[in-house]
Amino acid sequence: MNDSNKEQLAAKLEITKRGLELIVQESKRIQELVYHNDVDPYYALPLLVDYIVATHSKVEKTNEFLGKEKNPKA
C-alpha cells in the first residue's frame, strides 16, 4: 500500500496516516498468527475489527482533546 493510497483511505476513515499504519501492522501480525495456527481464522477478522474500532476511538478522543472538530466543513 503506497503513501497516496494510505492517505486516501485514512481520509475516508477519518484517521491519521500513523493510525492507518498501525492498523496495517496489526493486520500483518494477525495474519502471521493465523498462518502459524496460533489464532483460528474464524476469529482473525473480529480481532482486526476490534483493533480498528479501538484505534479510531483513540483518534476521536485525541481530536476532541485537541479541540478539533470532527467534520470542519461548516
What tens digit of pLDDT does each residue of 48-70 get? 788 777 776 766 666 666 665 55
Q: Is residue 72 part of a domain?
A: no
Q: Is residue 16 part of a domain?
A: no
Q: What is the pLDDT of residue 74?
A: 45
Over 80: is that where the pLDDT of 25 sits? yes
Residue 20 in contact with residue 6, Cβ under 8 Å? yes
Give mean pLDDT, residues 13-32: 77
**For residues 52 and 57, what is the distance between their CA atoms, to the nearest angstrom?**
8
Q: What is the pLDDT of residue 49?
A: 80
Give the CA count within 13 Å in the CB-facing half-sphere of 28. Answer: 7
State the residue range of the domain holding 44: 40-67
**For residues 3 and 38, what is the distance between their CA atoms, to the nearest angstrom?**
31
The total of structural domains in the chain comes to: 1
